[in-house]
């Protein structure tokens, strides 16, 4: 039928054009105008069609995800489940006179499971699931973004009716692109119109609707969102989806290794300890990379060595083929020995491995771990971490007699830690206002802290210079030392 209508229109246009030419009328302006209109139509139609390719959770090809499949986010899951009860128990909600929640905002770093939580929410409420990215809505063409928003809500209702569902979950990733603060785009108002349409659509959600719609947004920059979007009645709940703690990492690793043949020497608790600061996505990558390494070696089981190498690969990247000269390799070994020795003396059992093999931008590195996750840092702890950062270049000066440019990132890290001391009110300045602190006074205090720590670190390494030399020699010979091997060397020299 559509093709027949197109043929009729083309035939009429050709006939009219031929008639106009016969009577002497110039039709070139008309052809240009018609071509321009057609181009705009097909561009906007093609871009609007992208919204139609939104995934529906009821698709048989897509594995359904439940909250049991998500680890390390117990607080976020509990808060999300409580909000979802407003959809599941609609009759009770009405009897209590409770207004249903319209939107939930998931805020957290990348890779922490925000998309998985949204899919699990759809499964938990037996809803259809539609997903889109904030960047799909904002274009240069006037009215396109607003039309996409209307189309998205219409499609949610249609999909729910098609699958005989009473509710739909709309997930918008990178919502800060769509919901950014208004008034910042001076060239045109298309961005603001798109956000206004989203606000209108959310206001139109009612408890009396036959299809209940819940909006779930995800962002790692909630500070960029417009205040009108965050007020009660739009996004009623802001759920923090943070990096998992040790208990959460254990849960996530168990989920991602349940279908893998593990060697008896693999200890999930130790792996969780070694992966402090990893997101759920990084932990999944560790399990996957360990399996790949085992496959390369034709191993039937994934061992702890595979996991150790996988952790280092995810943290630092693949090993590089570049080979430093003999003098450079000696300097790298001395540098990393300084980091490792200071780290182990100041924070016992904290070093997981020491390496002088190049990975990514690092010529060598020390991988640290800690027994328990820390959320508050004391003055002594921060000074200790500064000492570890400075120990590499100090070791070079003690054993080789000069410093190198390889410590620039260490100095930056040490300066950042010193700033934590100042801004935390733990320096000689006392409690200060970060905005009102003069730059010269900040610089003077930073220098004082770093020089004080540098002196104590020089004394620490000079008192253990034989141990430092032994560790450097072992690194030159083996290229890598485990934490246990390092501690054995330190005990041997101490005895």
pLDDT tens digits for 249-279? 898 999 899 889 999 998 898 888 888 888 8
More confident of the two residues 95 and 168: 168
Higher-scoring residue by pLDDT: 389, 64 = 389
Q: What is the pLDDT of residue 18?
A: 67
- Residue bearing the bigger pLDDT, 158 or 88: 158
pLDDT digits (tens, 9 = 90+) for 86-126: 767 767 777 777 777 788 888 888 888 888 888 888 888 78
Architecture per CATH, 326-494? Up-down Bundle (1.20)
More confident residue, 347 or 321: 347
Give the span between the Cα atoms of 100 and 105, in whole angstroms.
15
Beta strands in 341-474 (DSSP E): 351-355, 365-368
Model pLDDT, residue 145: 74
Matching CATH number, 246-316, of 3.40.50.12780, 1.20.1250.20, 3.30.499.10, 1.10.8.60 = 1.10.8.60
Do the domains 326-494 and 246-316 match in fold? no
Reported as a single tens digit per residue, the pLDDT across 174-188 is 888 877 777 665 445
Phi-psi region of 273 (alpha: psi -120 to 50; beta: other; left: phi over 0): alpha
Cα distance between residue 418 and residue 260, in whole Å: 44
Continuous H helices in 355-407: 379-399
End-to-end Cα spacing for the chain: 92
How many other CB atoms sit within 10 Å of the CB of residue 473?
15
Q: What is the mean pLDDT of residues 326-339?
A: 89
Instruction: State how far Cα 153 lies from the chain centre.
Output: 28
Give the whole-angstrom CA distance, residue 425 versus residue 394: 28
pLDDT reading at 189 higher than 70? no
Residue 54 banded pLDDT, cuts 50, 70, 90: very low
Whole-angstrom Cα distance, residue 115 to residue 306?
A: 29
**Span 438-467, average pLDDT:** 93
What's the residue count for the chain?
A: 495
Residue 1 pLDDT level (bands cut at 50, 70, 90): very low
Section 450-479 average pLDDT: 92
pLDDT winner (highest mean) among 37-46, 70-79, 417-426: 417-426
480-482 sheet: strands from edge to edge: 365-368, 351-355, 480-482
What's residue 395's pLDDT?
Answer: 94
For the segment 238-243, the average pLDDT, to the nearest whole number, is 86
User: What H or E segment, with its residue span, contains residue 218?
Assistant: strand 212-219
pTM: 0.70
Percent above pLDDT 70 for the chain: 80
Q: Give the model's pLDDT for residue 2.
A: 44
Q: Residues 196-236: pLDDT tens digits?
A: 888 888 887 776 777 888 888 888 888 888 888 888 888 88
The whole-angstrom separation of Cα 239 and Cα 75 is: 9
Residue 142 — very low, low, confident or very high, per pLDDT cuts 50/70/90? low
Mean pLDDT for the stretch of residues 332-361 = 86
Residue 38, pLDDT > 80, answer no
The mean per-residue pLDDT over the stretch 302-325 comes to 80
Mean confidence (pLDDT) of the chain = 80
Q: Which residues does 478 contact at the CB level (< 8 Å), separation at least 6?
A: none
pLDDT of residue 61: 43
* pLDDT over 50 at 59, yes or no: no
With a cut of 90, say whether residue 432 has pLDDT above it: no
Where along the chain do its domains lie?
A: 2-52, 54-240, 246-316, 326-494
Q: Is residue 162's pLDDT more than 50?
A: yes
pLDDT band at 461 (very low <50, low <70, confident <90, very high): very high
Architecture of domain 54-240: 3-Layer(aba) Sandwich (3.40)
pLDDT band with cut points at 50, 70 and 90 for residue 46 = very low
User: Bridge partners of 172?
Assistant: 132, 217
Residues with catalytic function: 336
% pLDDT > 90, the chain? 22
């Amino acid at each position: 039928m559509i093709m027949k209508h197109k043929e009729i229109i083309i035939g009429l246009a050709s006939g009219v054009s031929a008639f106009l030419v016969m009577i002497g009328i110039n039709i070139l302006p008309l052809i240009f105008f018609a071509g321009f209109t057609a181009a705009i139509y097909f561009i906007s139609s093609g871009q609007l069609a992208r919204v139609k390719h939104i995934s529906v959770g009821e698709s048989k090809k897509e594995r359904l995800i439940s909250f049991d499949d998500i680890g390390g986010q117990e607080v976020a899951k509990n808060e999300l489940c409580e909000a979802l009860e407003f959809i599941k128990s609609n009759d009770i909600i009405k009897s209590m006179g409770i207004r249903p929640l319209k939107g939930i905002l998931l805020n957290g770093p990348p890779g922490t499971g925000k998309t998985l939580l949204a899919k699990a929410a759809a499964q938990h409420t037996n809803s259809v699931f539609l997903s889109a990215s904030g960047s799909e809505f904002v274009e240069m063409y006037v009215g396109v973004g607003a039309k996409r928003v209307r189309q998205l809500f219409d499609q949610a209702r249609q999909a729910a009716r098609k699958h005989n569902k009473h509710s739909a979950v709309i997930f918008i990733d990178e919502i800060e692109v769509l919901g950014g603060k208004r008034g910042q785009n001076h060239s045109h108002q298309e961005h603001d119109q798109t956000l206004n349409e989203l606000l209108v659509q959310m206001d139109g959600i009612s408890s009396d609707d036959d299809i209940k719609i819940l909006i779930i947004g995800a962002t790692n920059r909630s500070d960029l969102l417009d205040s009108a979007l965050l007020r009660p009645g739009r996004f009623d709940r802001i759920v923090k989806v943070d990096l998992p703690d040790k208990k959460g990492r254990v849960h996530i690793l168990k989920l991602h290794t349940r279908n893998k043949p593990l060697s008896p020497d693999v200890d999930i608790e130790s792996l969780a300890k070694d992966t402090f600061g990893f997101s759920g996505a990084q932990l999944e990558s560790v399990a996957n990379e360990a399996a790949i390494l085992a496959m390369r070696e034709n191993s039937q089981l994934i061992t702890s060595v595979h996991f150790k190498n996988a952790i280092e690969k995810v943290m630092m990247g693949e090993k590089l083929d570049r080979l430093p000269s003999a003098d450079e390799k000696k300097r790298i070994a001395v540098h990393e020995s300084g980091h490792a020795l200071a780290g182990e003396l100041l924070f016992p059992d904290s070093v997981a491995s020491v390496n002088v093999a190049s990975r990514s931008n690092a010529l060598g590195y020390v991988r640290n771990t800690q027994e328990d996750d820390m959320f508050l840092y004391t003055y002594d702890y921060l000074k200790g971490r500064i000492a570890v950062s400075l120990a590499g270049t100090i070791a070079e000066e003690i054993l080789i007699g000069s410093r190198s440019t390889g410590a620039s990132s260490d100095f930056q890290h040490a300066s950042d830690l010193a700033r934590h001391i100042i801004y935390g009110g733990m320096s000689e300045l006392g409690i200060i206002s970060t905005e009102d602190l003069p730059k010269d006074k900040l610089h003077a205090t930073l220098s004082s802290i770093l020089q004080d720590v540098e002196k104590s670190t020089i004394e620490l390494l000079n008192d253990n210079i034989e141990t430092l030399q032994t560790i450097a020699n072992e690194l030159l010979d083996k290229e890598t030392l485990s934490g246990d091997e390092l501690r054995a060397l330190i005990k041997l020299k101490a005895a």
